[in-house]
Structure 1
């Protein structure tokens, strides 16, 4: 997960040994305790925001954020209080099965998208990173299919303009309309306490990973794979391998109850 650029004194392997709740992880849904009593997740001001967003190729990923301080918010589920949207970004690789960071029941996908939020009580992402309840990241797994998904049209238009590193374009909030699903609040997910997936791997994240993958066209996904890094070559892989799942690293499978009509 890309939060900021930072030089690290230790290698990723050395840091992992010093921590107990590293991300991402491979999850077996059958082994997870199941909860069905949590309040639905509440997404406010994402795809229906009147403010435009900025889509940037930062040399590591495609990075989306809003131009204004009027940012979306997330509540409910396993979260206590309100979390403020900071940015969205993507992970992928060269094939359609190893581009996701989290793995559910041994099934890999073509890509993974992360919506990064900070706890509003800390007032900024930078301040929140230092606290165990500082961040909440919602993850969507992308499944590559032959037919394009029209919900991605606005985002694809933006990706076409940021092939080179440091290129940025203005995009409407409708670029997030692919997540505007009538069953979003009724979809099952897993949640656990973990870490950033890039240095310094701080353990400050409440992860929320939706079980049902989002379908994206193979050609649409190809635009992510064409984004260029610092060497002006396509970024072929930007995922961290799954980390060891130690005892006591609790993962909860949340089954959302469908609303009664």
Structure 2
């Protein structure tokens, strides 16, 4: 009986080792099968949209659908404020006809909310090589008011980001403008959570109820670009770099301007965007591309932009200034 017991002790661990190896082999086969099934993608999508029943190229694989998405000067990026360089050429912008009221159509294009803008609104100065006329604006957001901006500042991701897309004045269409390395200028604005609703955004928030389904569109009456952004006097502090479109084809023809002052929206207003749907019926959330490598690019700041210090650096700076002992 004791001999039989010893035999079991010797054999069972061996069986367990075989079982473990078999489990690993089965797991690898299953993963390979999953990978084969889920990556026969055609079009691009966001990470939140990817599923086996919706085969698409998630952000890490956008280059499979559009080769430019693996370029060296891609957007968005993380702006490290202490590494930015002050550029005296980054003067205040001139905003022409931004106050003008216009009518347009707001659309759920399957990836975002987009509104066409008449080419009457023009930006100039601000270090730009000329005048640029507005073409459209769209937004990127997270999940029910959570982190969702595309660009980040010192690693901080805001709940949402607005992009107002402009092209050089002499171009007649965006496709042609994108063939020019400086053909497009995008103004980026961040949003922050507020305890009260932003009444200026009510036309857009109400319109979202009518475009929940992909490719849905509805009229947007009596709106101006000026009502969507901070007052002009608060738009002198910004960051500048050269990059790309943040959606495929990822064309590297964009002069980016990221404004420091955020736009307030209530949590309810922010959550309204997450009620939209992707074409596959999934909740439209997480509509942002992860930040991309700088690859040697220099990010500049206007004269009024503030370099943000971490609390630790701030304490150290104060201690040094007053000759106080520093706590390690």
Common topology (TM > 0.5): yes
From the superposition, tell whether residues 33 and 195 of structure 1 become closer, same or farther in structure 2 (CA, over 3 Å).
Answer: same
Q: Unmatched 5+ residue regions in structure 2?
A: 1-41, 45-56, 306-328
More displaced 10-residue stretch of structure 1: 169-178 or 13-22: 13-22
1:33 equivalent to 2:33? Answer: no
Match of 2:97 in 1: 45
Aligned residue among 215, 227, 241 for 2:276: 227
Give the aligned length: 247
Encode CA deviations 1:24-54: one digit per residue, 9 max, x unaligned.
00011111111245332122223x3243121
SS across alignment from 1:172: strand
Match of 1:214 in 2: 263
Distance in 2, matches of 1:173 and 1:255, equals 35
Match of 1:132 in 2: 181
Match of 1:120 in 2: 169
From the superposition, tell whether residues 173 and 164 of structure 1 become closer, same or farther in structure 2 (CA, over 3 Å).
Answer: same
Aligned residue among 91, 114, 124 for 1:75: 124
Q: Unmatched 5+ residue regions in structure 1?
A: 1-5
Encode CA deviations 1:64-91: one digit per residue, 9 max, x unaligned.
113xx55311111121111111110000
More displaced 10-residue stretch of structure 1: 197-206 or 36-45: 36-45
More displaced 10-residue stretch of structure 1: 96-105 or 53-62: 96-105
Aligned residue among 61, 73, 91 for 1:11: 61
Whether contact under 8 Å (2:159, 2:192) holds in the other structure is yes
From the superposition, tell whether residues 164 and 116 of structure 1 become closer, same or farther in structure 2 (CA, over 3 Å).
Answer: same
Match of 1:111 in 2: 160
Distance in 1, matches of 2:144 and 2:179, equals 35
Distance in 2, matches of 1:222 and 1:18, equals 32
Distance in 1, matches of 2:128 and 2:189, equals 18
Computing the radius of gyration from Cα coordinates, the structure with the larger value is 2
Give 1 or 2: higher strand fraction: 1
From the superposition, tell whether residues 17 and 87 of structure 1 become closer, same or farther in structure 2 (CA, over 3 Å).
Answer: closer
* Higher RCO (Cα < 8 Å, 6 or more apart): 1
Distance in 2, matches of 1:155 and 1:17, equals 31
> Aligned-pair distance for 1:16?
6.9
> Aligned-pair distance for 1:211?
1.1
Match of 1:181 in 2: 231
Whether contact under 8 Å (2:108, 2:216) holds in the other structure is yes
Distance in 2, matches of 1:28 and 1:75, equals 26
Give 1 or 2: higher helix fraction: 2
Distance in 2, matches of 1:74 and 1:182, equals 12
1:160 equivalent to 2:212? Answer: no
CA RMSD of aligned residues (A): 2.4
Q: Runs of 4+ in structure 1 displaced over 6 angstroms?
A: none
SS across alignment from 2:223: helix
From the superposition, tell whether residues 172 and 42 of structure 1 become closer, same or farther in structure 2 (CA, over 3 Å).
Answer: farther
Match of 2:75 in 1: 23
SS across alignment from 2:268: helix
1:57 equivalent to 2:105? Answer: no
Whether contact under 8 Å (1:56, 1:167) holds in the other structure is yes
Whether contact under 8 Å (1:42, 1:185) holds in the other structure is no
Match of 1:3 in 2: none
Structure 1-normalised TM-score? 0.86
1:198 equivalent to 2:247? Answer: yes
Encode CA deviations 1:106-131: one digit per residue, 9 max, x unaligned.
21110111001111233321101111
> Aligned-pair distance for 1:20?
1.6
